[in-house]
């Protein structure tokens, strides 16, 4: 049997719920007292019949009561109201007073008992009416009555347009409904608890619109995309396109010689300045050969830098896969190869360290051939070059192959257009502010250009090349360092040169607002469905970390590496991460949340160091990423619950049972194997069935208390809180050993 709520039935009939409740009471349905009460189908149909055409419906509000007097009294009142102030000209002036309407015909005895309504009437002289009030005169019984018409009521809007995020306050303003009413409706009818600033989901907003009889169109503001900036290009002519330098990325396993090989190419010594000889950041360098240029991206090879390698492969034209001839293909080599394949770019293999003993280039080719990377001499499409960073063997051949690949790709760009490209890295620099290393992919960047990059913007006040020299402009396929952004951009963000700084600011602020809204929308309140999972999470241990690093890319990579250490038992939770040194704010946050502070290639401010000592906050500083991950891993292993291992100590046979008053049953025993100790746990076994598990109360040899008795000796024992022992029972002594666990990710 179907049911319908009073509020929904009232909406269907176009009347108020209070009127519907009154009608229910008239029909004997006295249990209906609230708009949330329900009616069965037969009752609802009975109420509907009352509102069919021809049925008289009582108005919801009573008409204002009007003073009523008998006709005989009304005539007297009229005479009192008529005061003659002047008889000149036979003009009678009626002073403002209460005028009663009297029937035109003479009153009959029956009419004298009628009730005449008295209505207040305004004076007949003119007054300045407020805007929207229409005045008119009406003659009645020889006198002039001035009546005024109220302003026309504004019709209720049937359709409104709103942009997300939509709060209760926004909805109240648009619909003209009090916020308290909306909050109450959400709670009573939809079981949704909300506040006036609560962001509502689109489904709830649409549902509320239907219930209030208003069509709500949710119109999302379109984000400014790449096509909008492409429309600002100065020239799209084919004759303006010029050849640009290829962008080459070095990928491969750690310590296979990527940086050393690149170092030999650009005649610098970057690897010597890297801690542990491992590249920690993405670098971009431009090299000239035979009048042509090649741009190299050097990405780290350590497995923790997977995200950085992926970004390098996505913005590159050609990938150089570096494989050590003595090591062969390693796990990170396969990983780098997958990134290159995903980017759909040509691959050139550099078989490095060919000068080392044990080098075997044939084995490398065989291994890569099994990964669908077949050399040209074997009928494939992949070029293999044997190189050595020490003897510089094969360096020129490698460059020639790269230039050949770029000619086949026919790489072109238009230098006349506004610059656009990708952020390789960004950091806070003392004296220069926010500095971003960018790679220009299209157009030309000039000093002073307005740059929009993700949710940040600024002017290119200082542009320097990879050697630190200031340049006035930089064309396509050029890596440069740009200063003066409003905040640190994200590595991998696209940047565009725009004409108006106000537009750049508005777009950046809109993107920031959208990010905040997204984060707010992701926040979920505890519901009955999630309550049990929240309680279960209370048993999960976690290590809380505040992470600071010198580069944005380092923050991302270290954050990912630490979070991947999480297990079902222990979680690594990054409370805050950012670029720059460790400040007092970081220490205060760590103190409040019981977290540790990890710094990578940064220092701690003096005030922050003093505060950390006062609060007992631990600060760890690192220069190699895997040192940080290893120490956190060790700390997590210390938090793991140790494994319990049961070790049997020995077995004792009961040969005699003695009943001692006030003590209970005592067993005379013989230790058959191992030993029995006073503090050991014991099991009482009868016919190979365990009938009791507990502890010993006492262990004696003759009359002396002892700590242990070994095999071949007799003893007496008393089992704590248990007396049901018999001759022939076996007492097995054991202990539970705790074994430290090793973290397996």
Closest CA to 157 of 211, 207, 214, 209: 214
d(C-alpha 63, C-alpha 117), whole Å? 13
| Known binding-site positions for GTP | 252-259, 298-302, 352-355
Helical spans, DSSP H, in 255-299: 258-266
227: helix, strand or coil: helix
- Omega prior to 378 cis, within 30 of 0: no
How far CA 703 is from CA of 710, 719, 720, 745, in Å, comes to 17, 17, 18, 55
Please report which residue ranges of 89-167 form alpha helices under DSSP H: 109-112
What are 413's strand-pairing partners?
242
Question: Beta strands 730-739 and 643-660: pairing type?
Answer: antiparallel
Report the SS3 class of residue 712.
Answer: coil
Nearest to 169 by CA among 194, 206, 191: 194
Pairing, β 242-243 against β 247-252: unpaired
Give CA 206 to chain center in angstroms.
24
Q: Could you identify the residue written with the tokens 């709670």?
A: 187
What's the helix, strand, coil split of the chain in %, to 5? 30, 30, 40
CA distance 170 to 706: 81
Q: Assign 507 to helix, strand or coil.
A: helix
Count, residues in the chain:
745
Residue 732 near residue 707, CB atoms below 8 Å? no
Structure tokens at 112: 């004298």
* Structure token pair of residue 472: 């006035």
DSSP structure string for 601-668 = S--B-HHHHHHHHHHT--EEEESSHHHHHHHHHHHHHHHSPPEEEEEEEEEEEEEEEEEETTTEEEEE
Quote the distance between the C-alpha of residue 53 and its chain's center: 55
Residue 215 in tokens? 């069509």
Distance (Å) of CA 673 to CA 50, 545, 710, 713, 717: 95, 52, 8, 10, 16
Helix axes 395-409, 258-266, angle to 10 degrees: 90
Q: Which of 625, 643, 631 is nearest to 569 (CA)?
A: 643
Question: H/E element holding 675?
Answer: strand 664-677
CA atoms within 13 A on the CB side of 174: 23
Strand partners, 276: none
Indicate left, alpha or beta for 80 from its phi (over 0: left) and psi (-120 to 50: alpha).
alpha
Give the 3-state secondary structure of residue 144. Answer: strand
Task: Give the C-alpha distances (Å, rounded to integers) separating 171 from 20, 58, 131, 395, 514.
Answer: 27, 32, 30, 67, 19
* Of 304, 211, 238, the residue nearest 628 (C-alpha): 304
Q: Which of 511, 490, 512 is nearest to 224 (CA)?
A: 511
Q: How far apart are CA 467 and CA 479, in angstroms?
A: 10
Distance (Å, whole) CA 345 – CA 710: 75
In the annotated binding site, the residues are 252-259, 298-302, 352-355
DSSP 8-state class, residue 122: B
DSSP secondary-structure letter at 107? P
57 by Cβ neighbours in 10 Å (0-12 / 13-18 / 19+) ranks as exposed
């Amino acid at each position: 049997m179907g049911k319908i709520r009073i509020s929904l039935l009232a909406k269907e009939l176009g009347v108020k719920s209070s009127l519907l409740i009154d009608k229910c009471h008239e029909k004997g349905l006295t249990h209906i007292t609230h708009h949330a009460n329900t009616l069965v189908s037969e009752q609802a149909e009975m109420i509907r019949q009352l509102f069919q055409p021809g049925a008289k419906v009582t108005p919801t509000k009573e008409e204002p009561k009007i003073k009523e007097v008998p006709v005989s009294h009304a005539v007297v009142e009229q005479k009192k109201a008529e005061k003659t102030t002047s008889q000149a000209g036979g003009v009678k002036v009626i002073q403002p007073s209460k005028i009663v309407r009297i029937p035109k015909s003479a009153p009959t005895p029956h009419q004298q008992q009628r009730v005449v309504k008295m209505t207040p009437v305004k004076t007949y002289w003119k007054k300045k009416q407020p805007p929207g009030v229409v005045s008119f005169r009406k003659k009645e019984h020889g006198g002039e009555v001035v009546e005024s018409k109220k302003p026309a009521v504004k019709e209720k809007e049937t359709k409104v347009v709103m942009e997300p995020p939509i709060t209760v306050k926004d909805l109240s303003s648009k619909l003209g409904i009090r916020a308290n009413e909306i909050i109450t409706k959400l709670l009573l009818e939809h079981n949704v608890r909300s506040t006036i600033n609560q962001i509502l989901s689109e489904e709830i907003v649409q549902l509320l619109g239907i219930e209030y009889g208003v069509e709500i169109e949710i119109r999302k503001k379109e984000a400014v995309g790449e096509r909008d900036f492409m429309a600002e290009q100065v020239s799209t002519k084919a004759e303006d396109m010029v050849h640009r330098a290829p962008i080459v990325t070095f990928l491969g396993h750690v310590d296979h010689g990527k940086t050393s090989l690149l170092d030999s190419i650009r005649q610098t010594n970057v690897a010597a300045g890297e801690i542990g000889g491992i590249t920690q950041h993405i670098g971009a360098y431009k090299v000239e050969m035979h009048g042509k240029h090649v741009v190299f991206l050097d990405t780290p090879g350590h497995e923790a830098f997977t995200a950085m390698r992926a970004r390098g492969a996505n913005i590159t034209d050609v990938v150089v896969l570096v494989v050590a001839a003595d090591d062969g293909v390693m796990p990170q080599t396969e990983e780098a190869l997958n990134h290159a394949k995903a980017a759909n770019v040509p691959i050139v293999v550099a078989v490095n360290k060919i000068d080392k003993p044990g080098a075997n280039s044939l084995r490398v080719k065989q291994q890569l051939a099994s990964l669908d990377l077949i050399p040209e001499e074997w009928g494939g499409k992949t070029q293999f070059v044997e190189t050595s960073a020490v003897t510089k063997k094969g360096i020129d051949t490698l460059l020639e192959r790269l230039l050949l690949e770029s000619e086949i790709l026919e790489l072109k760009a238009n230098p006349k257009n506004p610059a656009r490209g990708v952020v390789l890295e960004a950091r806070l620099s003392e004296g220069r502010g926010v500095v971003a290393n960018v790679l220009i992919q299209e157009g030309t960047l000039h000093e002073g250009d307005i740059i929009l990059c993700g949710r940040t913007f600024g002017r290119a006040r200082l542009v320097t090349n990879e050697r630190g020299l200031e340049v006035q402009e930089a064309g396509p396929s050029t890596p440069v360092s740009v200063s003066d952004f409003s905040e640190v951009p994200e590595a991998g963000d696209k940047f565009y040169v725009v004409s108006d700084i106000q537009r750049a600011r508005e777009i950046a602020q809109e993107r920031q607002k959208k990010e905040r809204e997204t984060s707010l929308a992701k926040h979920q309140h505890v519901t009955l469905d999630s309550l049990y999972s929240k309680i279960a999470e209370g048993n999960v241990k976690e290590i809380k970390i505040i992470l600071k690093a010198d580069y944005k890319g380092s923050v991302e990579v270290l954050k990912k590496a630490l979070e991947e250490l999480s297990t079902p038992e222990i979680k690594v939770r990054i409370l805050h991460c950012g670029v720059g040194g460790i400040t007092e704010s970081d220490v205060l946050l760590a103190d409040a949340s019981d977290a540790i502070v990890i710094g990578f290639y940064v220092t701690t401010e003096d005030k922050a160091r003093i505060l950390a000592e006062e609060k007992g906050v631990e600060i760890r500083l690192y220069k190699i990423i895997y040192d940080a991950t290893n120490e956190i891993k060790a700390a997590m292993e210390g938090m793991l619950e140790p494994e319990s291992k049961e070790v049997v100590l020995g077995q004792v046979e009961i040969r005699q049972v003695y009943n001692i008053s006030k003590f209970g049953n005592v067993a005379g025993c013989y230790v058959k194997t191992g030993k029995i100790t006073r503090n050991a746990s014991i099991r009482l076994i009868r016919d190979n069935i365990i009938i009791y598990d507990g502890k010993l109360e006492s262990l004696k040899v003759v009359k002396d208390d002892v700590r242990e008795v070994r095999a071949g000796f007799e003893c007496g024992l008393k089992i704590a809180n248990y007396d049901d022992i018999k001759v022939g029972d076996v007492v097995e002594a054991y202990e539970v050993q705790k074994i430290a666990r090793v973290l397996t990710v």
